[in-house]
Structure 1
Amino acid sequence: MSTDSRPPAADAELQRALDAVGDPVRRSILRQLAAADPWTIACGQFDLPVGKSTLTHHFRSLVEAGLLEQRDEGNRRMNRLLRDEFDRRFPGLLDLVLDQ
């Protein structure tokens, strides 16, 4: 008889969110987006000390956690913080992260 060792979906979703906001590079992305109007910062405009492939990984983590939405405009990928949506799922978590 086998047992399922996966956490419940809600726990997995919370863990993904915590992992996303726990990284200093991703927190910097979130802070920069929170200070800007939606859809005004392209991926290449962030002031971050990481390479392009690493930055792509960080953006993907934020999208998968439900913190970030991206859309292509010409040859640029624009970003929008999904603050309201994230706050409905995890009230207060994003505020804690942005205040650090």
Structure 2
Amino acid sequence: MPDPEGHPATEEMELRTVLNALADPLRYGVVSALLREAEGVERTCASFGLPVSKSTTTHHFRVLREAGLVRQVDRGNSRAAALRREDLDERFPGLLDLIRTNV
């Protein structure tokens, strides 16, 4: 069962849901950008400069969060996202390596 913020536990992550989230070019770009950051780096959702409305940005990050790709935390009046590298490597070994080589 996802936690109160909507993050699934590692064992609850489903490959189909993760791949569906990554199928969108904007969401794939967010994950790719987070892969280029040092492990544990958090970025605000606005820092990605997605060319969509604020509500659509919120939707994209909800999809990423619910798939288990990112962990979001509240930072005052914004939210920050960090890639769930360790969880993803445990659940889907090699997935992040594939994304990294196709950036």
TM range (shorter): 0.7 to 0.9
Q: Which runs of 4+ in 1 moved over 3 A?
A: none
Equivalenced residue count is 90
Identical positions, percent: 47
| Unmatched runs of 5 consecutive residues or more in structure 2 | 1-10
Aligned CA distance change for structure 1 residues 98 and 54 (closer, same or farther; 3 Å):
farther
Which structure's CA Rg is the greater one?
Answer: 1
Q: Secondary structure in 2 aligned to 1:78?
A: strand
1:45-84 matches, cutoff 5 A: 45-84=47-86
Give the alignment's Cα RMSD to 1 decimal. Answer: 1.9
Aligned CA distance change for structure 1 residues 50 and 98 (closer, same or farther; 3 Å):
farther
Structure scoring higher RCO (CA < 8 A, sep ≥ 6) equals 2
- Aligned residue in 1 for 2:24: 23
Deviations 1:23-47 (A, max 9, x none): 1101110111122243431111112
TM-score (norm 1): 0.79
- Is contact 1:21–1:97 with CA below 8 Å preserved after alignment? no
Q: Distance in 2 between matches of 1:31 and 1:70?
A: 16
Letter in 1 for 2:74: D
Q: Distance in 2 between matches of 1:16 and 1:47?
A: 24
Deviations 1:2-42 (A, max 9, x none): xxxxxxxx9x8111011011211011101111222434311
- Is contact 1:30–1:98 with CA below 8 Å preserved after alignment? no
Aligned CA distance change for structure 1 residues 36 and 43 (closer, same or farther; 3 Å):
same
Stretch moving more, 35-44 or 59-68: 35-44
